[in-house]
Amino acid sequence: MARVTGLSVLTAYGRGPDALWKGLTSATPAATPVTRFDTARHRAHHAATVPGTPDLFTELAHLIGESCDQAELSPADRAATPLVLALHAGPDTAALAVELAGSCGLREALTVHTAACAASNTAVAEASHLIAATDERRAVVAGASFVDASMFAAFDSAGIIAPSGVCRPFSAGRDGPVLGDGAAAVVLEHTGTAPPWAVVRGWGNTAEAHHVCRPHPEGRGPAAAVATALRRAGLTGDRIGYVNAHATATPAFDAGEAAAIVSALAPHGVRTPVSSTKALHGHCLEASGLVELAVCALAFRHGELPVNANHLGPDDDCPLDLVLDPGRAPQSRYALSLNSGFGGVCTALLLAMP
Average pLDDT of the residues of the chain: 95
* Position 168 pLDDT exceeds 70: yes
76 and 210 share one domain: no
Alpha-carbon span 68 to 74, nearest angstrom:
8
163 and 235 share one domain: no
Would you say how long the chain is, in residues?
A: 354
Burial class (CB in 10 A: 0-12, 13-18, 19+), 51: exposed
Which of 160, 189, 218 is a domain's end point?
189
Burial class (CB in 10 A: 0-12, 13-18, 19+), 198: buried
CB-based contacts of 104: which residues, under 8 Å, 6+ apart? 61, 64, 65, 68, 78, 83, 140
Average pLDDT over residues 150-170: 96
Q: Identify the active-site residue in 216, 246, 281, 311.
A: 246
Whether the Cβ atoms of residue 150 and residue 36 lie closer than 8 Å to each other: no
| Tens digits of residue pLDDT in 185-242 | 999 999 888 899 999 999 999 987 766 667 766 779 999 999 999 999 999 999 999 9
206 and 269 share one domain: yes
64 and 177 share one domain: yes
137 and 208 share one domain: no
From its phi and psi, is residue 198 left (phi > 0), alpha (psi between -120 and 50) or beta?
beta
Which of 166, 189, 212 is a domain's end point?
189
Percent of all residues in the chain with a pLDDT value above 90, rounded to a whole number: 91
Give which of 302, 89, 319, 269 is closest to 338, Cα–Cα: 269
348 and 211 share one domain: yes
59 and 159 share one domain: yes
DSSP state of 52: S
162 and 226 share one domain: no
SS3 of residue 51 by DSSP: coil
Paired with 274 in beta bridges are 243, 322
Alpha-carbon span 257 to 324, nearest angstrom:
18
293 and 157 share one domain: no
Whether the Cβ atoms of residue 197 and residue 4 lie closer than 8 Å to each other: yes
Which of 129, 154, 189 is a domain's end point?
189
77 and 216 share one domain: no
Q: Identify the active-site residue in 68, 104, 117, 318.
A: 117
146: domain range?
2-189
Q: What angle do CA 48, 54, 58 make, to 5 degrees?
A: 135
Is this model's pTM higher than 0.85 or not?
yes
List phi, psi (to 5°) of 138: -160, 165
Instruction: Provide the terminal-to-terminal Cα distance of the chain, rounded to the nearest Å.
Output: 13
117 given a catalytic annotation: yes
Q: Identify the active-site residue in 88, 113, 281, 283.
A: 283
346 and 208 share one domain: yes
Q: Structurally, how many domains does the chain consist of?
A: 2
| Tens digits of residue pLDDT in 6-21 | 999 999 999 999 999 9
| Tens digits of residue pLDDT in 88-124 | 988 899 999 999 999 999 999 999 999 789 999 999 9
pLDDT at residue 343, as a whole number = 76
246 given a catalytic annotation: yes
Alpha-carbon span 196 to 199, nearest angstrom:
7
**One-character DSSP codes across 98-133:** HHHHHHTT-SEEEEEE--GGGHHHHHHHHHHHHHHH
From its phi and psi, is residue 332 left (phi > 0), alpha (psi between -120 and 50) or beta?
beta
130 and 102 share one domain: yes
CATH number, domain at 47?
Answer: 3.40.47.10
* Position 130 pLDDT exceeds 80: yes
